[in-house]
């Protein structure tokens, strides 16, 4: 952890290039980046919007350049996105924001672009398909 500021709205993490994270091309395995990037936006949203169920709905990583040094993840939840989430929660009781952040090499080049979609739902939320399965099995409550 390099930095968490503005109540979790800005996060910087260091992902070191080590013997275990280095691939045969002498750069960072993509799976290491994916695993570290996955929960970041959801964790930030859970902290900023307490009282909701929050999880990563999807993630896509565009590996643009070699990650041939220690990498720094940089995430920021901007005011515009935060206001949109607050409006969604007030109007619909749920929000599904998309975040873009990245991993940067020591030379400052963004080597990986992350697109992460977060689901923010009311406490106790169940996916409709899970409710339907329970109804079919006769175990749903009235």
Compute the distance between CA of residue 94 and CA of residue 88 in angstroms, rounded to an integer. 6
Per-residue model confidence as pLDDT tens digits over 40-56: 999 999 999 999 999 99
Compute the distance between CA of residue 8 and CA of residue 22 in angstroms, rounded to an integer. 29
What top-level class would CATH report for the domain 3-137?
Answer: alpha beta
Question: What is the residue extent of each domain of the chain?
Answer: 3-137
Compute the distance between CA of residue 43 and CA of residue 77 in angstroms, rounded to an integer. 11
Beta-carbon contacts of 67 under 8 Å, excluding residues fewer than 6 positions away, are 17, 27, 28, 33, 103, 105, 111, 112
Of 30, 104, 45, the residue nearest 78 (C-alpha) = 45
The residue assigned the tokens 């990245």 is 102
- Average pLDDT, integer, range 69-98: 97
- Average pLDDT, integer, range 105-109: 98
Is the pLDDT assigned to residue 142 strictly greater than 90? no
Is the pLDDT assigned to residue 135 strictly greater than 70? no
- Average pLDDT, integer, range 24-49: 97
User: What's the pLDDT score for residue 79?
Assistant: 97
Q: Report the first-to-last Cα separation within the chain, whole angstroms.
A: 46
Confidence bin at 2 (pLDDT 50/70/90): confident
Query: Greater confidence, 5 or 108?
Result: 108
């Amino acid at each position: 952890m390099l930095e968490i500021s503005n109540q979790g709205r800005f996060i910087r993490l260091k992902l070191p290039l080590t013997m275990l994270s280095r691939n045969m091309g002498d750069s960072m395995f993509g799976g290491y980046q994916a695993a570290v990037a996955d929960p970041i936006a959801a964790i930030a949203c859970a902290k900023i919007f307490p009282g909701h169920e929050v999880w990563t709905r999807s993630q896509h990583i565009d590996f643009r350049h070699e990650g041939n040094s220690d990498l720094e993840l940089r995430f920021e939840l901007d005011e515009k996105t935060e206001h949109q989430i607050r409006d969604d929660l007030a109007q619909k009781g749920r929000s599904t924001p998309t975040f873009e952040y990245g991993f940067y090499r020591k030379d400052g080049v963004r080597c990986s672009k992350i697109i992460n979609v977060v689901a923010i739902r009311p406490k106790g939320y169940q996916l409709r398909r899970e409710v339907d399965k329970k109804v079919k099995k006769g175990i749903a409550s009235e």
